[in-house]
Structure 1
């Protein structure tokens, strides 16, 4: 994997997180980062403070380390990677303030730069936050892959920030150039919708998977969730908005459920949904932002439920699923169970059989399989 990044006038060693992922062809920066750094160094040489949004692995925080930097990220892993890459490059973190995606933004900076997220709703949330936090006449410069910048992307900048233009493409990336104009627009998040087949109402923050309705994978998984009055320790791993853990808690009323996700908005959505729908069971729940189950107590839980992702940022990859399975096995008690749902084509059956020594098919349809693996050693 290439780890030497030329950003502006300097070369940095940049690593993706988690560090032990198998796909070493992926790198921790892209041409959009390069374009942003070159553009800012050329056009804003006197900037002293900068607000950075969606800096996936800290490339931009390293490049602008001499400035006062506020770095906003919805990713726990992104924050970890930023601190790590600053340390590897022997750069100070004293002038860096890391903010999660729901934190209040600073009300005065010289410049805003951001990487355009794939999720349009999350982009709208971030632009609205910029619009309400900052005064007029602050430049906002965004970068994204040319193929990912659509008319709706430009419209969002115009609607929430102000007059907007785009640059020429360089290495298949393009800049969006705008300036705050005091619009003070508010984005319509979180959103609410009824959970089909239940009395529950779901609340979702902007950057949560399947934000507006129940996704078809979770709908199928509901058919294979546990149901018992016996107290059990359960983890909803990669919990998203927490619907799997919510339905499990309803069926297992004495269980202790831990909701784990690397997205701050996901964990907060899960907490909202338990608080709103099962407030009397809130004290049976924990809500944790984490890199999968890193540092969880070994041999400590009875059941891990998981709908693993097969992408990270813009990259399609199965290393997160592998990490989830491996750490689930470590965290389960002897005789504990990992129960997952996955797309049929991802071949999780063979992965689990290799790792656990067993794997049972609980159910399937044309798109999904539900699998169970038991920790016997």
Structure 2
């Protein structure tokens, strides 16, 4: 079956004219690593951060590679890769694995789409340096506008040799080799105690806000006692480090709490946060795409602090997808409590998708609303 990068799609992630499934960084990474890739045997290639399958399927098609081990933090990336691989007849060329020693053990080449977060980069390359083959080479690529010198510094903490290649089409590849010996001890997950809330937060590298508590979440925490006190089933949609889910479990010991996020890092962070606060047995954590595994009309209260960026683009569709998911799983009369940047005009969408919406609180930065399922 013929393979063409132009056939790759983003689904089930958002698809829009300003959003692409393959970019210049994918192509540059495959070109920069071509000689190394051509010399590999099965299971010697690991791909991390592949957006929608361009790196994995490109390596399989161009070099006949098999046994490719892949980690993608967002679940929609995994699902898009699986769909694109099936259409290209390359499903047997790779396997998806969690971020851990088994992912990188014995690997000779790592293709990495650079994460925006330095913490996420540190967790990934620290794992590679500690568990991959001693002669491993890391090819880490990104868009110039998102790359910083600090990324080189993170790589140098774990590798003796770091080289910045020439830019092409506003992308660049950093090449790292010769892992430091002994490897740097892993600090992940990092934890932080928040005495004002009586909460300890744990976070892995790619988790939004890390072990801190962002001010949007704090705004929703301030009004959490007023959020449908009779709720028997509560969902923290886009749970991040689990602050809202764990706070709800602590405040309402009789409620069933479900924490859901498509990020593998967020899911592991929430589990760790729940355990640290002794509610691990009462918070069910699921990695899910917009509550796809939850039944219609199955919960009373949804708590949501939605993102508003997809890659570098401001994309209102991502919040709308989560509003629709909340509306589907809420029982009639159930409530969606949402916090969002005050400049965003989400209220009309919430009224249309969920039901009657009123403002609970507002400041120059954040607005909290409650929407009642019609």
TM-score, normalised via structure 1 length: 0.91
Partner residue in 2 for 1:235: 235
CA distance in structure 2 between the partners assigned to 1:102 and 1:314 by the alignment: 28
The aligned residue for residue 123 of structure 1 is 121
> How far 1:25 moved relative to its partner?
2.6
2:199 matches 1:200: yes
Find out whether 1:62 has 2:60 as its counterpart: no
**Pick aligned residue for 1:316 from 307, 311, 314:** 314
Q: RMSD of aligned C-alpha atoms?
A: 2.0
Match of 2:270 in 1: 270
Separation in 2, partners of 1:116, 1:273: 26
2:109 maps to 1:111: yes
Secondary structure of residue in 1 paired with 2:102: coil
Runs of 4+ in 1 over 6 A off after TM superposition: none
SS of the aligned residue for 2:104 comes to coil
Higher mean C-alpha displacement, 204-213 vs 360-369: 204-213
Q: What's the secondary structure of 1:152's corresponding residue?
A: helix
2:336 paired with 1:342: no
Residue 360 and residue 296 in structure 1: after superposition, are their counterparts in 2 closer, same or farther (change >3 A)?
same
Partner of 1:159: 157
Contact 2:108 2:133 in 1 (8 A): no
How many residues of Structure 1 are paired with residues of Structure 2 in the alignment?
365
Q: Which residue of 1 aligns with 2:253?
A: 253
Q: Which moved more, 1:117-126 or 1:213-222?
A: 213-222
Q: 1:267 to 1:181 in 2, by over 3 A?
A: closer
* Residue 328 of structure 1, CA deviation: 0.8
Q: For residues 22 and 87 of structure 1, do their structure 2 counterparts lie closer, same or farther at Cα, with a shift above 3 Å needed?
A: closer
Which deviates the most, 239-248 or 144-153? 144-153
Asked whether the equivalents of residues 124 and 156 of structure 1 are also in contact (C-alpha less than 8 Å), the reply is yes
3-state DSSP of counterpart to 1:268? helix
SS at match of 2:295: coil
Alpha-carbon distance in structure 2 between the residues aligned to 1:238 and 1:244: 10
Deviations 1:266-288 (A, max 9, x none): 11111111112134xx3332110
- Normalising by structure 2, we get a TM-score of 0.92
| Alpha-carbon separation, structure 2, partners of 1:98 and 1:176 | 24
- Structure 1 unmatched runs, 5+: 1-5
SS in 2 for 1:114: strand
Q: Which moved more, 1:72-81 or 1:367-376?
A: 72-81
CA shift for structure 1 position 314: 3.8
2:97 corresponds to 1:99: yes
Q: Deviations over 1:306-349 (max 9, x none)?
A: 00011234443222211110111111111111110000111111
Q: CA deviation at 1:13?
A: 1.1
The reply on whether 1:15 has 2:9 as its aligned counterpart is yes
| 3-state SS, counterpart of residue 284 of structure 2 | strand
Q: Who is 1:80 aligned against?
A: 79
Q: Which of 24, 28, 49 in structure 1 is aligned with 2:21?
A: 28
For the residue of structure 2 that corresponds to 1:94, the secondary structure is helix
Larger deviation, residues 210-219 vs 168-177 = 210-219
For residues 277 and 46 of structure 1, the distance between their equivalents in structure 2, rounded to whole angstroms, comes to 49
Cα contact 1:129–1:186 (8 A) shared by 2: no
Query: Are the aligned partners of 2:130 and 2:179 in contact in 1 as well (CA < 8 Å)?
Result: no
Once the two structures are superposed, residues 188-207 of structure 1 have per-residue CA deviations (whole angstroms, 9 ceiling, x without a partner) of 22111112422222111111
Q: What does residue 168 of structure 1 align with?
A: 166
Distance in 2 between residues matched to 1:328 and 1:126, nearest whole Å: 32
Aligned to 1:3: none
For residue 214 of structure 1, give the secondary structure of its aligned residue in structure 2.
coil
Contact 1:56 1:78 survives alignment (8 Å): yes
